[in-house]
Structures are given as C-alpha cells and as structure tokens.
A and B are shown apart, each in its own frame.
Chain A
Amino acid sequence: MADIDVAGGDSGHKKGPGVKKAKKLSTRVDMTPMVDLGFLLITFFIFTTTMSTPSTMKLFMPKDDKNEEDKTEVKESGALTIMLGKGDGIYFYEGQLEPNGSNFQSTTYKQIRDEIIKKKKQVISAHYHTPGCESLQKGAQERGNPDWKNACKDKDFVVVIKPNKESTYKNAVDILDEMTINQVQRFALIDITEDENKLVKATEASRGIK
C-alpha cells in the first residue's frame, strides 16, 4: 500500500546553531482512498448500466373478417398446426386433425424447428407450377430474397399457431420467432379448438404436467 513518506527533518547536517533547515516534505500522496472511491463508482455504474438495447419484433395481425368470402383458404396438404400447452408443452399435427387424434404428436421447443423445416421442404417439393408464380418470384427477387426461386413454391405452406389458455407469453413469442427463423411467409395466431384442447389436456394428464 502506498504510504506517506515523512522522511526529511533533522536527518541532514546542521549549518550551525540557530539555523533551521526547511523541512522537506514528500510529494507522494496516499492514493488508497482515491482508488477505493474509484472502484466504488465503477461498481455502481456497472450495476446500473443497461448495455444491450432491446430489440423489437414486428407482429402483424389480420383483421377479424366477418364475412366468409374474405377468409384465407388453406390447403390441407400445406398446413401445419402447432398447439402450445402448459409447462412449455408443444404439440402439432399436419393437415387436418384425424377424428381419433392419430396424427396428433407431441414435441419440444427444440425439435419443433426440424418439424417446420421438414414440412416446408415437403410443401416445396410437392409444388407444381401454377400461373401467377412468376410475379411472386419476381417480387421476392426485387426484395433481395436469395431464396426467390422458392418464393411461390412455399405459398401453400401455412403454419397455424394455437396457444391454449395455460401457455405463456414466452411460448407465443418463441414460436413466432421460429416463424422468422424459418422464413415462414404465412402463419396465423388463432384460438385453440375444443377438440384440440382436449387432446392437449389428455397428453398433459398422462405425463403428469401440472
């Protein structure tokens, strides 16, 4: 630790009786309290600072259309329905739900991405050329999408997201984020149906999720 050097004083030779030598004071200062204070302030600023600015995620919701004609039609072959339940439970089925629930599957938030990618590839490979495709491709190319060749091929691919009442906000944001990650152009966030909710509840009960 630094200290105050109090050397000097009467250690030198005396010039004579009655002649006092001026005291030589050291110019060194004890810096310990200053360092203490410095680090105290550093700690304070580190704790109060907000380093990362939050990001914003866009979410566009459709209007609630009253008339049936305006509703978007979804091809059964291109639909993937994802249901969110309690305790981070996630379930899905492709196309239409079988009456006996045989195509109802359970998965995890880590694995749902593979399911989305698989389904997207399947829809793209099953695509056949339709008129109007060129304009979609052209539009995607102009927007700078490197995957523009597939722009119209995945137009039948629709993900339907159905969170139930016990899922959390995080679950919904996570799955919406998955849509961005996998570049799903069409997805919908709607309420879960009675039948689907029953299947979710039954699965939860059998697994003991509380």
Chain B
Amino acid sequence: MPSVKIPRKSTATDMTPFVDVAFLILSFFMLATKFKPPQPLSITTPYSVSSEKLKEQDAVQIEFDSAGRIFFTMNVKNQAQDNGLKLELIKQVNANRNLGLSNSEMVNFQNYTTVGSPFNQIKSLLALPRTERDKVKQPGIPVDSTNNELATWIGAAKVAFQGKQVFYMIKGDNHASYPIFKGVIEALKKNDEYKYKLITDPKAVPPGTDLYTRRASGAAGD
C-alpha cells in the first residue's frame, strides 16, 4: 500500500515585503515628526471649534497648569534677532524690579526664556545652569490683584519687542480655576492689551448650528 506523503514545506517566510512596509512607515513618521519642545508644565488644553491654526510668530506665551502655576515665555519668530530681544527683556525686568542680576545670569536667561517664579527667586534660579533649571519646581508667577508680577513681565516684553506686532497666547489647563485665567487677563489689561489667542485643541463644529451653516456656505473666517 502506497503511503501518502505529505510534502514538507519550509516554515520560513519571505519577510522582505514586511520589512519594506515597516521602513516605509518608519520613514513617514520620521519625516512627519515635529518634536515636542521640552515643556516645564503638563497642560491639557480645552477644545474649541476655532479653525485658526497656531503659527510661529512673535509672541508672548502665558501658560498655566491645573495647579494654577503661571509660566511666562517669550517666543521670537526670527531666530537671528532672538537673543538681542530676550536679553532686552531680562534687562528691562532687572531694571524695573531691581533684581540685581549679573551679566552672566542675564545671558543664561536668554537661552531659555520660560520662567515661572516670583521675582524674589529669579536670581537664584538664573544662577543655575540650564539642565539644573529644568529640575527646579517653580511655583509660578503671582497674579494677585495686589502683586501682579506677570504684568511687569508683559510690560518688559512689550518694550523689548519695540512696537512690533506681538501676539498674546494663553495656554491653560482644563482644570485650572477661573481666577487664574482672570489674573492673566488682568495682567494683560494693565498693559493695554485686549486681544488674545487662547491655545486650544481643535474639534468639529456641531451640525445644525449657526456656525455650521455659515462654514458650509463657504464664508471666510469667524
């Protein structure tokens, strides 16, 4: 009786297409990636229907986290002029508040402008090198009605930008309490700034609403 022979097939598969796809995806992600800049605060922003995208521009960015700590950053679009402006900012603040900063401390500041400490801690903070500075848990800039230090920072930034158009970005955490937001607005108002941009995550417009019909009809802007 002839026995049925089952042909033995190799279990080894050709993985070349698999590798091809893997590297295609890999190259896509490498090219599409924009690294998150190091952030001293973890912030989850609220959603809004706004369609305007966040652009890189000359801006003063004010951030606050869920604990209500306020951080101030100066963003300069044109990197070439960057350092001069940031140095000007810290010089202004130094002069206004008599912080007594040394030159090297001010130069240290311009490499990394994000600050979140009251004025009485700025000097000790700037004495640290950059890597050490990230580890320090900063308490946030006070915005109380009696001691609104953020207003000084914004005022100094206005002087440093010398009349250029500056955008005021507010990036807040969902769970930050409203008085913090109000304090930020008060600080901006003190400097006669009334137009702000709130950084949010985009969401879809609910169908059937007035905005929905307006966007559907192709009207520009809102």
Q: Which residues of A contact B (CB under 8 A)?
A: 1-3, 31-32, 34-35, 38-39, 41-42, 45-46, 48-64, 84, 113, 117, 120, 143-147, 163-174, 176-177, 180-183
Q: Nearest-CB distance from B171 to chain A (Å)?
A: 8
**A143: B residues at CB distance < 8 A:** 219, 221
Given contacts A48-B35, A57-B48, A61-B189, contact A146 B200 (CB under 8 A): no
Most chain A CB within a 10 A radius of its CB, from B35, B178, B185, B217: B178
On whether the beta carbons of A181 and B50 are closer than 8 Å, the reply is no
Q: Which of B123-131, B150-158, B206-214 contacts A (4 or more CB under 8 A)?
A: B206-214
B176 at the interface (CB under 8 A from A): yes
* A-B CB contacts (within 8 Å), total count: 193
Q: How far is the CA of A145 from the CA of B220 in the complex (A)?
A: 8
B170 nearest in chain A by CB position: A59
**B36: A residues at CB distance < 8 A:** 48, 50
Q: Nearest-CB distance from B159 to chain A (Å)?
A: 21
- Give the size of the chain B interface in residues (CB under 8 angstroms): 69
B52 at the interface (CB under 8 A from A): yes
Q: Nearest-CB distance from A167 to chain B (Å)?
A: 5
Given contacts A38-B19, A45-B30, A49-B29, contact A54 B177 (CB under 8 A): no
**B210: A residues at CB distance < 8 A:** 117, 120, 147, 181-183
Q: How far is the CA of A107 from the CA of B22 in the complex (A)?
A: 51
Most chain A CB within a 10 A radius of its CB, from B29, B170, B176: B29
Q: How far is the CA of A28 from the CA of B76 in the complex (A)?
A: 54
Q: Which of B9-17, B83-91, B134-142 contacts A (4 or more CB under 8 A)?
A: B9-17
**B202: A residues at CB distance < 8 A:** 52, 54-55
On whether the beta carbons of B178 and A57 are closer than 8 Å, the reply is no
**B32: A residues at CB distance < 8 A:** 49, 51
Q: Nearest-CB distance from A113 to chain B (Å)?
A: 7
Most chain A CB within a 10 A radius of its CB, from B19, B45, B52, B210: B210
**B172: A residues at CB distance < 8 A:** 169, 173
- What secondary structure prevails in chain B residues at the interface with A? mixed
Given contacts A144-B219, A180-B211, contact A56 B26 (CB under 8 A): no
Q: How far is the CA of A45 from the CA of B216 in the complex (A)?
A: 36
A62 nearest in chain B by CB position: B194
Most chain B CB within a 10 A radius of its CB, from A2, A34, A48, A170: A170
Most chain A CB within a 10 A radius of its CB, from B50, B169, B176: B50
B222 nearest in chain A by CB position: A180
B80 at the interface (CB under 8 A from A): no
Q: How far is the CA of A49 from the CA of B71 in the complex (A)?
A: 24
On whether the beta carbons of A54 and B178 are closer than 8 Å, the reply is no
On whether the beta carbons of A181 and B205 are closer than 8 Å, the reply is yes
B169 nearest in chain A by CB position: A56
On whether the beta carbons of A31 and B16 are closer than 8 Å, the reply is yes
B72 at the interface (CB under 8 A from A): no
On whether the beta carbons of B29 and A183 are closer than 8 Å, the reply is no
B219 nearest in chain A by CB position: A144
On whether the beta carbons of B195 and A58 are closer than 8 Å, the reply is yes
Q: List 23 A-B contacts (CB under 8 A).
A: A1-B11, A2-B13, A3-B12, A34-B19, A35-B19, A39-B22, A41-B30, A48-B33, A49-B29, A50-B36, A54-B201, A55-B51, A59-B170, A60-B195, A60-B196, A143-B219, A144-B219, A147-B210, A169-B64, A169-B176, A169-B180, A174-B46, A181-B209
